[in-house]
Amino acid sequence: MTADEIRDHLDPIRDQFAEERSLVLPALKFAQTEKGHVTREDMEAVAEAVNLSPAYVESIASFYDRIYTSPTGERIVSVCVSLSCMLNGSDELLEHLCASEGVPHEGNHAGGTSADGRITVQEAQCLGACDRAPCLQVDAEETMGPVSLDDADGQLQRLRSETAPRPMLR
Amino acid sequence: MPELNSVYRHREAGHVLTDVSSYRDAGGYAALAHAINERTPDEVLYAITRSGLRGRGGAGFPTGRKASFLPKDAQLAKYLVCNADESEPGTFKDREIMELNPHQLIEGMVIAAYAIGAERGYIYIRGEYEYQAQVLDAAITAAREAGYLGADVAGSGYALDLTLYRGAGAYICGEETGLLESLEGKRGQPRLKPPFPAVKGLWASPTLLNNVETLAAIPPIIEQGPDWYAAMGTEKSPGTKIFSVSGHVTKPGNYEVILGETTLRELIFDLAGGFREGRSFKACWVGGSSVPVLAEQHLDTPLDYESLMEAGTFLGSGGCIVMDDSGCIVRASLRLASFYRHESCGKCTPCREGTGWMENVLQRIADGDGRMEDLELMESLFGRIGGNCLCALADGAVAPISSAIKLFRDDFARAITNGGTERPEPMAPAVALTGGRAGA
């Protein structure tokens, strides 16, 4: 994404902040909607658009779980592994999803992107849907539960049959 | 059972209140018009103080007193910031407000902003609540079009607008100064306090920070009067509080109750449906994951700030995680320890290193590599982690673990002597998948 495109996106909200620096996170989130992650060039464009150094922008990007600095699958499936979901089977759900997608699941650390590049499975901390444990989230706006192993298979099938929505919300 | 839907007006109405007209039909925005056109800011602040409302994010600090700490004669701009970074494990009460009753939050924010003379309000919402952010965004636009926000709020001449700011996945940004750092475009690492945000907050200006539920509690207080609110509950814990109940219960969900009038047992067994056939209570983290765990002997504790403190825990966010006797306290504690290790921002060494140590030692106990002296090792760690850091994350990380080792020491000792613990069979929820785009 170019610095001009980012500037155009930020212009309507610029006057809502006393300091321009506040725009760095909205800029990163916007830049990410194009490819689903931010590249070095994207971070340089963000830096130019908000008048900060690329190194500073990277320090912000690396702080947040939901800013991805390396490529992900077309869709991201986040499985909540917090306590309420664990009690309702999130470990089993995560293992099942990892096995289905052929991505690693070792000890406490699981996840990765499927060989066809369609789906990234990852662990998430509490997604705020404990009333529907075990829950999962697709990208950033679809949260669902309780997800049985059959439901999980159905969701993977659905995601493979869909084209990823644009802009990509992570 | 004293359930009372005051913050959850949509439940009282029986349908969602996402548009201005349905919210208005349910009595909404009357408090705003009354407060701004017929009351001075000081009178509004006095009403909030008199109601006895306490912060619902977790700390329980009196809301009116917190607002009164903002300097009256400040030359600087003042800000109101709503903490919608609901990330405490087991807590999903604010999600329901933003999703189904967003105008009550907006109305509460306008009233609070007027009381302190704020010129802009910010809502910092966690990145994982993208759907809720879209609902809220639409509600803010609609409120502006209806004249409840903008250059002339409700025809009063008072100018206020709200900005929705999306986070990107960091528990620490729910800590008030971590939130401010994030909102200023910095890494969300907490600040040294004092100065408190009331004096030096957003861009070093006086700032009032409140949780979603706290702000959404304000319109009914103005509508029905502070004495109505103060008369509910106990003297020190007035009003209603939403408890999010989850874990091994058969009817997980949000329950708004009058403080002090419901016991933990009633919340778990009567409202949240109790357990599956043949299962009984084992443990519960009543105020989110950052509070000391409770055991069977605590079930008759009334749900209010003081009674829960007397029982050795905190009311916290009201995120009540419940585990039945099929669960394993060692593995549950390990899961919480992993959460804090992941979410420690790394600024303070005792937290950054200590949360990792707690996880490592609990992991080896669960895996069967534990030693009896590990329990003493853990106990020696607690005091070196908690109380030594800039924010409460470290204390919150220690509380559930230290209390578990104290209350359920035998379970830990058994895991060590028996060569670890088996992963228990999870509960299989008996309800169908819901969700998709909507979180409701």
Q: Do B28 and B114 fall within a single domain?
A: yes
Q: What is the pLDDT of residue B350?
A: 97
Helix-strand-coil percent breakdown of chain B, rounded to 5? Answer: 45, 15, 40
Q: Is residue B437 part of a domain?
A: no
Pick from B266, B298, B324: which residue ends a domain?
B324
pLDDT tier, B428 (very low <50, low <70, confident <90, very high otherwise): confident
The mean of the pLDDT values for chain A is 96
Average pLDDT over residues B423-428: 93
Average pLDDT over residues B304-322: 98
Q: Do B314 and B301 fall within a single domain?
A: yes
Q: What is the pLDDT of residue B72?
A: 85
Percent of chain A with pLDDT over 70: 99
The mean of the pLDDT values for chain B is 96
Q: Do B262 and B334 fall within a single domain?
A: no
Indicate yes or no: CB of B426 within 8 angstroms of CB of A148.
Answer: no
Instruction: Give the amino acid at B10.
Output: H
On chain B, the residues whose CB falls within 8 A of the CB of A162 are none
Q: Is A18 helix (H, G, I), strand (E, B) or coil?
A: coil
Q: Are strands A109-113 and A119-124 parallel, antiparallel or unpaired?
A: antiparallel
Which residues make Cβ contacts (< 8 Å) with residue B192, sequence separation at least 6? B390
Judge whether residue B74 has pLDDT over 90.
no
Q: Which domains does chain A have, with CATH numbers?
A: 3-61 (1.10.10.1590), 75-161 (3.40.30.10)
Q: What is the pLDDT of residue B244?
A: 98
**What pTM value is reported for the model?**
0.97
Q: Do B49 and B139 fall within a single domain?
A: yes
B207: containing domain = 9-231
Judge whether residue B1 has pLDDT over 60.
no
pLDDT digits (tens, 9 = 90+) for B41-68: 999 999 999 999 999 999 999 999 999 9
Indicate yes or no: CB of B120 within 8 angstroms of CB of A82.
Answer: no
CB atoms within 10 A of CB B161: 17
Q: Is residue B374 part of a domain?
A: yes
- Min Cα distance A159 → chain B (Å) is 12
* Calculated CA dihedral for residues B63, B69, B70, B73, nearest 10 degrees: 140
| CATH number, position B29 | 3.40.50.11540
Q: Is residue B129 part of a domain?
A: yes
Q: Do B314 and B274 fall within a single domain?
A: yes
CB atoms within 10 A of CB A121: 29
Judge whether residue B369 has pLDDT over 70.
yes
Number of structural domains in chain B: 3
pLDDT tier, B73 (very low <50, low <70, confident <90, very high otherwise): confident
Tokens of A158: 């659905």
User: Which of these, B87, B96, B109, lies nearest to B210 by C-alpha position?
Assistant: B109
What are the DSSP calls for B300-313, one per residue?
A: T-BSSHHHHHHTTS
Judge whether residue B436 has pLDDT over 90.
no
- Min Cα distance A130 → chain B (Å) is 6
Pick from B293, B324, B355: which residue ends a domain?
B324
For B326, which DSSP code?
Answer: T
Q: Are strands A109-113 and A105-106 parallel, antiparallel or unpaired?
A: antiparallel
- Three-class HEC string of B8-70: CHHHHHCCCCCCHHHHHHCCCCHHHHHHHHHCCHHHHHHHHHHHCCECCCCCCCEHHHHHHCC
Judge whether residue B430 has pLDDT over 90.
no
On chain B, the residues whose CB falls within 8 A of the CB of A67 are 168-169
- Residue B150: left (phi > 0), alpha (psi -120 to 50), or beta? left
Q: Is residue B382 part of a domain?
A: yes
Q: Do B302 and B269 fall within a single domain?
A: yes
Average pLDDT over residues A147-162: 96
Indicate yes or no: CB of B166 within 8 angstroms of CB of A29.
Answer: yes
User: Which of these, B67, B160, B153, B74, lies nearest to B121 by C-alpha position?
Assistant: B160
| CB nearest to A140's CB, from B127, B253, B335 | B127
On chain A, the residues whose CB falls within 8 A of the CB of B429 are 88, 132-134, 145-146
Tokens of A35: 């490819």
| CATH number, position B261 | 3.10.20.600
Check CB contact of A125 with chain B, cutoff 8 Å.
Answer: yes
| CATH number, position B342 | 1.20.1440.230
Judge whether residue B165 has pLDDT over 50.
yes
pLDDT digits (tens, 9 = 90+) for B204-214: 999 999 999 99
Q: Do B280 and B191 fall within a single domain?
A: no
Where would I find the H helices in B128-210?
130-145, 176-183
Across the A:B interface, residue pairs with CB atoms under 8 Å apart total 197
Average pLDDT over residues A110-124: 96
Do A107 and A151 contact (CB within 8 A), yes or no? no
pLDDT digits (tens, 9 = 90+) for A52-107: 999 999 999 999 999 999 999 999 999 999 999 999 999 999 999 999 999 999 86
Q: What number of H helices and E strands is found in chain B?
A: 19, 8
B33 burial level (CB within 10 Å; 0-12, 13-18, 19+): middle
Q: Are strands A75-80 and A119-124 parallel, antiparallel or unpaired?
A: parallel
Pick from B324, B348, B366: which residue ends a domain?
B324
Q: What is the pLDDT of residue B438?
A: 44
Q: Do B20 and B130 fall within a single domain?
A: yes
Q: Do B69 and B135 fall within a single domain?
A: yes
Do A143 and B127 contact (CB within 8 A), yes or no? no
Check CB contact of A23 with chain B, cutoff 8 Å.
Answer: yes
Q: Do B178 and B313 fall within a single domain?
A: no
Alpha-carbon gap, residue B206 to B331, rounded angstroms? 43
Judge whether residue A113 has pLDDT over 50.
yes
| CB nearest to A19's CB, from B89, B166, B203 | B203
Q: Is residue B178 part of a domain?
A: yes
Q: Do B318 and B206 fall within a single domain?
A: no
Q: What is the pLDDT of residue B382?
A: 96
On chain B, the residues whose CB falls within 8 A of the CB of A25 are 165-168, 182, 185
Q: Is B3 helix (H, G, I), strand (E, B) or coil?
A: strand
Q: Is residue B71 part of a domain?
A: yes
* Calculated CA dihedral for residues B308, B310, B314, B319, nearest 10 degrees: -20
In degrees, to the nearest 5, what angle opens at C-alpha A72 toward C-alphas A70 and A73? 160
Which chain A residues in 39-58 lie under 8 Å from chain B, judged by CB atoms? 50
Average pLDDT over residues B84-106: 98
pLDDT tier, B439 (very low <50, low <70, confident <90, very high otherwise): very low
Instruction: Give the amino acid at B276.
Output: R
For B83, which DSSP code?
Answer: E
Judge whether residue A169 has pLDDT over 90.
yes
On chain B, the residues whose CB falls within 8 A of the CB of A108 are 338, 363
Do B255 and B240 contact (CB within 8 A), yes or no? no
Residue B181 has phi, psi (to 5 degrees) of -60, -45
Tokens of B418: 């028996």
Q: Is residue B431 part of a domain?
A: no
Judge whether residue B110 has pLDDT over 80.
yes
- Angle (deg, nearest 10), helices A3-10 and A24-35: 120
Judge whether residue B437 has pLDDT over 60.
no
Q: Do B111 and B214 fall within a single domain?
A: yes
Q: Is residue B387 part of a domain?
A: yes
pLDDT tier, B435 (very low <50, low <70, confident <90, very high otherwise): confident
Nearest residue in A to B133, CA atom:
A141
Judge whether residue A161 has pLDDT over 70.
yes
pLDDT digits (tens, 9 = 90+) for B254-285: 999 999 999 999 999 999 999 999 999 999 99
